[in-house]
Homo-oligomer: A and B are copies of this chain.
Amino acid sequence: MTVGTVLSLESTRQEQKPSLESIHSLVGDDLKKVNQVIVDNMQSPVALIPQLAGHLVAAGGKRLRPVLTLAASQLCGYSGDRQIALAACVEFIHTATLLHDDVVDESMLRRGRDSANALWGNQSSVLVGDFLFSRAFELMVADGSLDVLAILSRASSVIAEGEVLQLMTTNDTSTSEEAYLDVIRAKTATLFAAAARIGAVIADRPKVEEEALESYGMNLGISFQLIDDVLDYSASQAKLGKTVGDDFREGKISLPVVLAWRRGNDAERDFWRRTLENLDQEDSDFDYAVELMEKRGALRDTVARARHYGAIARDALGIFPDSEVKNAMAEAIDFAIERAH
């Protein structure tokens, strides 16, 4: 298997690997405050709530979405402190959807597992998710901007619609590229877009800047998700000891699958149907799936699609004057894409 070499064709064009270090160092002080707001607002006399939510929020990861709010407000020259609580809202909404996703995903994976634990997990996930979601709205109300409330309540509706849409396309290998993009636009990119847009709203900048940041967030979010899709089939990731194959095992229809299926012959489509629609999988199937994707250029071209959306995100930043934070936000796009190598 030589997927690594295919993907690395384009990987030497930059001297230094792009990273999130610049953006994190520019918003680092704010991000610490965001973490404190998050911890403070998970308090509840019901002990399970801070326990479960704390575990999730502490695990944290890159905090990409709140970082977008912080960076966007800096880009817009905002000097107050409203970005702190609103970035926390964005993270709460994200965490709530992760919790509810778990219920949906875990349900599909549960076959043959110990169900008592899984069920307790389901119940807590639904309810603590609801709590975080409500708490996010309480924080927004405390902030007091109906514009922000409109953006994030709309985003929440769209995310929920996207989840239902995904549920209906799950395990359908004939999903079109457009249908798949509709799903990730709704499920992932919409919250990136809202997170970034809020920065312009609180800075009271003109609509055109709000829209530019919305476009930046939306297209960055799409690239991010597409590269995540690629990484899940990446041999080089596997070599780095990262988990691969989760999407495959769950029968998730991601863009690499959509492309491989459309470009495949009858035998290949039978393979995708058996493994992803019927979830009838053998140990060697994942390696063969990667092989087919390589043969059909599905991973390479998913990266190409991600570059396309990344380019739109970059151009969206064009109306803002040059600054350190603008460069860092552009580098975040490169980071999103170059992770594939």
- Whether the pair A137, B153 counts as a contact (CB closer than 8 A) is yes
**A37 to nearest B CB, angstroms?**
15
From the candidates B97, B157, B167, name the one contacting A48 in the complex (CB within 8 A): B167
- A104 contacts across to B, CB distance below 8 A: 122-123, 126-127
Which B-chain residue is minimally distant from A153 (CB atoms)?
A: B137
From the candidates B47, B103, B130, name the one contacting A163 in the complex (CB within 8 A): B130
- Whether the pair B153, A123 counts as a contact (CB closer than 8 A) is no
A319 proximal to B (CB < 8 A):
no
A134 proximal to B (CB < 8 A):
yes
From known contacts A107-B122, A127-B100, A131-B164, infer whether A149 and B157 are also in contact, taking CB-CB under 8 Å.
Answer: no
A238 proximal to B (CB < 8 A):
no
A298 proximal to B (CB < 8 A):
no
- A135 contacts across to B, CB distance below 8 A: 157
Q: Contact string, A105-142, partner B, CB cutoff 8 A, digits 1/0? A: 00110100001000100111011101101110110110
- Whether the pair B131, A141 counts as a contact (CB closer than 8 A) is no
- A163 contacts across to B, CB distance below 8 A: 127, 130
Which of A100, A134, A150 has most chain B Cβ within 10 Å?
A134
Kindly state the separation between the CA atoms of A115 and B134 in the bound complex, as whole angstroms: 30
A154 proximal to B (CB < 8 A):
yes
A161 proximal to B (CB < 8 A):
yes
From known contacts A150-B141, A168-B46, infer whether A134 and B122 are also in contact, taking CB-CB under 8 Å.
Answer: no
Which B-chain residue is minimally distant from A137 (CB atoms)?
A: B153
**What are 27 A-B pairs with beta-carbon distances under 8 A?**
A44-B161, A44-B164, A45-B161, A46-B164, A48-B167, A103-B103, A103-B122, A103-B123, A104-B122, A104-B123, A104-B126, A107-B119, A107-B122, A123-B167, A124-B164, A124-B167, A127-B164, A127-B167, A130-B156, A130-B160, A133-B133, A134-B159, A137-B137, A137-B153, A138-B150, A138-B153, A141-B153
A interface residues (Cβ-Cβ under 8 A, vs B): 44-49, 97, 100, 103-104, 107-108, 110, 115, 119, 122-124, 126-128, 130-131, 133-135, 137-138, 140-141, 144, 146, 149-150, 153-154, 156-157, 159-161, 163-165, 167-168
Given contacts A46-B164, A130-B163, A131-B160, 15 further A-B contacts (CB under 8 A): A46-B161, A48-B164, A100-B126, A103-B123, A107-B119, A107-B122, A110-B119, A122-B122, A128-B164, A130-B133, A133-B160, A134-B160, A137-B156, A141-B150, A144-B146
Query: What 7 pairs between A and B have smallest CB-CB spacing?
Result: A134-B156, A131-B160, A137-B153, A134-B157, A130-B160, A107-B119, A127-B163
